[in-house]
């Protein structure tokens, strides 16, 4: 099995299946197809498949032309037909791992993908899970599902875990050139999985000895970010009380060439990873009777930032003898971070909700997000942003620091600006700007 798979990978005759064509799966499918592997992209969402069949990208970092090129080369087949798994040899699972309403891991997508694969999985195949999840998922959850139809792991198929590393909007590091951690259940599985990623990617491939280590290292990466963002958010609240400019503090700390990485305050944590992944770790830790106090503390701070922003807005308006109730407020930015259109878990959504419950007249403008859905309601943004519009608002709150916005025009025409991202750092006249 091993030699046969290694040969097929080397000759690029191994047939690949990418399960889940989101911001992780689609770029990976494109890399496989670009390298000449016959790549089937499988997703349960037919709208995605139809969009791909017409070479229309729904992922910010993927261009239509990239999809068109691999469709023309006939190396990419988007489909909802999971029975195609029977003809595939290497299957990569890139499905979401959200939380349920009680902030517990929701692994139903992994289970569903596992069951679909198990039904059609052929012998002499490889399955790799890429979705960020708790240590033990690959061995304790996915392996039994794949063996449920009688096949035996290591004998009939190889199984491993290789965490995705996608930083939406990052132009420097992409799926192709970001170092990749790989693991397998058994030495042969690890050898085959390493060889696959070496063939597809153009980056360092780092082997670890068990899937649990690979699952844990990914959670370390994201928990590290969560906790450090929590730290700087907490310090920001303290600095405001002490009338110290935290942004200047950070710039000064950054002059230390070793042992310090700058993180920046903001309205809170958005995205599908940083705000959610650490809960996978704290949930699993409870099995060991272990309380992940650092994670819980940073979550409290980060999850409170939207409230804190609203309290700062209230104070700022009060200073000008205005109340939330009778103020017109414009939020600049709905995406969870700059230069992307993704607004999942965006703190700007929470801020909008808070302000609306205070009966504020609040609008938003985001060049990347024309409208968004939240709790069954759809919110439309302004379609343009000009001087006249800006002058109508009692307060403009910068919630996302998109690079395309003209911050000096905004400063000149807005009455008052509350900048939660220091997006106006290069603007000269700051007399009507208050920083987080
Ligand atoms: N944020 C801050 N302050 C900071 C950095 C980020 O408030 O100093 C906020 C952002 O505005 C955003 C949230 O945190 O709302 C998450 O931003 P992020 O860039 O850390 O996270 P993602 O989810 O866009 O992408 C991350 C990857 N980002 C980076 O490493 C820079 C990486 O952690 C993972 O590869 C990826 O999630 C993933 O898929 O796990």
Strand, helix or coil for residue 79: strand
Give pLDDT, residue 360. Answer: 76
Identify the CA nearest to 84 among candidates 43, 112, 47: 43
Whole-Å CA distances, 58 to 72, 177, 202: 19, 22, 24
Is the CB of 159 within 6 Å of ligand 1? no
Residue of 94, 153, 239, 273 marked catalytic: 273
Catalytic (active site) residue 273: yes
Determine if residue 165 is left, alpha or beta; phi over 0 gives left, psi from -120 to 50 gives alpha, anything else beta: beta
Is the CB of 96 within 6 Å of ligand 1? no
* Sign, Cα dihedral of 81, 83, 84, 88: positive
Atom of ligand 1 at shortest distance to CA of 268? 7
Is the CB of 165 within 6 Å of ligand 1? yes
Atom of ligand 1 at shortest distance to CA of 169? 24
CA–CA separation, 80 and 64 (whole Å): 20
Q: Are 401 and 426 in contact (CB under 8 A)?
A: no
Of 218, 249, 273, best ligand 1 pocket probe by most atoms within 8 Å of the beta carbon: 273
The residue whose C-alpha atom lies closest to atom 15 belonging to ligand 1 is 270
Give pLDDT, residue 358. Answer: 78
Determine if residue 154 is left, alpha or beta; phi over 0 gives left, psi from -120 to 50 gives alpha, anything else beta: left
Give pLDDT, residue 244. Answer: 98
pLDDT mean by block of 10 residues, the chain; 436 residues: 97 98 97 97 97 96 96 97 97 96 95 96 97 98 97 98 95 96 98 98 98 98 97 98 98 98 97 93 95 96 97 96 93 97 96 87 97 93 95 97 97 98 97 97
Is the CB of 60 within 6 Å of ligand 1? no
The residue whose C-alpha atom lies closest to atom 28 belonging to ligand 1 is 167
Is the CB of 274 within 6 Å of ligand 1? yes
Atom of ligand 1 at shortest distance to CA of 342? 24
Indicate the pTM of the whole model: 0.94
The first and second tokens of residue 221, run together, are: 């990466």
Q: What is the largest CA-CA distance in the chain?
A: 76
Is the CB of 166 within 6 Å of ligand 1? yes
Give pLDDT, residue 188. Answer: 98
Distance between Cα 275 and ligand 1 center (Å): 9
Atom of ligand 1 at shortest distance to CA of 337? 11
Atom of ligand 1 at shortest distance to CA of 346? 15
Distance between Cα 274 and ligand 1 center (Å): 6
């Amino acid at each position: 099995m091993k030699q046969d798979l290694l040969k097929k990978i080397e000759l690029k005759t191994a047939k690949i299946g990418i399960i889940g064509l989101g911001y992780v799966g689609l770029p990976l499918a494109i890399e496989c197809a670009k390298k000449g592997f016959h790549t089937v992209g499988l997703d349960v969402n037919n709208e995605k498949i139809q969009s791909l069949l017409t070479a229309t990208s729904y992922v910010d970092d993927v261009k239509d032309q990239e999809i068109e090129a691999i469709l023309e080369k006939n190396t990419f087949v988007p489909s909802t037909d999971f029975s195609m798994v029977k003809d595939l040899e290497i299957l990569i699972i890139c499905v979401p791992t959200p939380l349920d309403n009680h902030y517990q891991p929701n692994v139903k997508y992994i289970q569903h993908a596992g069951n679909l694969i198990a039904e059609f999985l052929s012998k002499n195949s490889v399955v790799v899970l890429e979705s960020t999840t708790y240590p033990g998922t690959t061995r304790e959850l996915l392996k039994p599902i794949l063996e449920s139809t009688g096949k035996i792991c290591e004998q009939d198929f190889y199984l491993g875990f290789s965490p995705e590393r996608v930083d939406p909007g990052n132009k420097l590091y992409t799926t192709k050139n970001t170092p990749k951690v790989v693991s397998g259940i058994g030495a042969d599985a690890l050898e085959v999985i390493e060889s696959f990623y070496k063939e597809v990617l153009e980056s360092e491939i780092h082997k670890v000895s068990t899937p649990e280590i690979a699952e844990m290292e990914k959670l370390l990466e994201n928990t590290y970010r969560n906790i450090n963002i929590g730290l700087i958010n907490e310090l920001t609240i303290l600095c405001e009380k002490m009338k110290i400019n935290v942004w200047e503090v950070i710039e000064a700390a950054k002059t230390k060439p070793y042992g310090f990485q700058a993180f920046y305050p903001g309205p809170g944590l958005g995205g599908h990873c940083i705000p959610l992944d650490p809960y996978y770790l704290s949930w699993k830790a409870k099995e060991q009777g272990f309380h992940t106090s650092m994670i819980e503390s940073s979550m409290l701070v980060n999850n409170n930032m939207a409230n804190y922003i609203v309290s700062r807005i209230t104070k700022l308006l009060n200073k000008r003898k205005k109340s939330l109730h009778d103020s017109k407020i414009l939020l600049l930015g709905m995406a969870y971070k700059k230069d992307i259109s993704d607004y999942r878990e965006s703190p700007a959504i929470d801020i909008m909700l808070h302000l609306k419950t205070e009966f504020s007249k609040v609008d938003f403008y985001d060049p990347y997000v024309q409208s968004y859905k939240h709790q069954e309601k759809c919110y439309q943004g302004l379609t343009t942003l000009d001087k006249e519009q800006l002058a109508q608002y009692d307060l403009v709150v910068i919630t996302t620091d998109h690079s395309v916005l003209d911050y000096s025009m905004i400063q000149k025409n807005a009455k008052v600006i509350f900048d939660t991202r220091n997006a106006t750092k290069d603007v000269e006249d700051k007399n009507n700007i208050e920083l987080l």
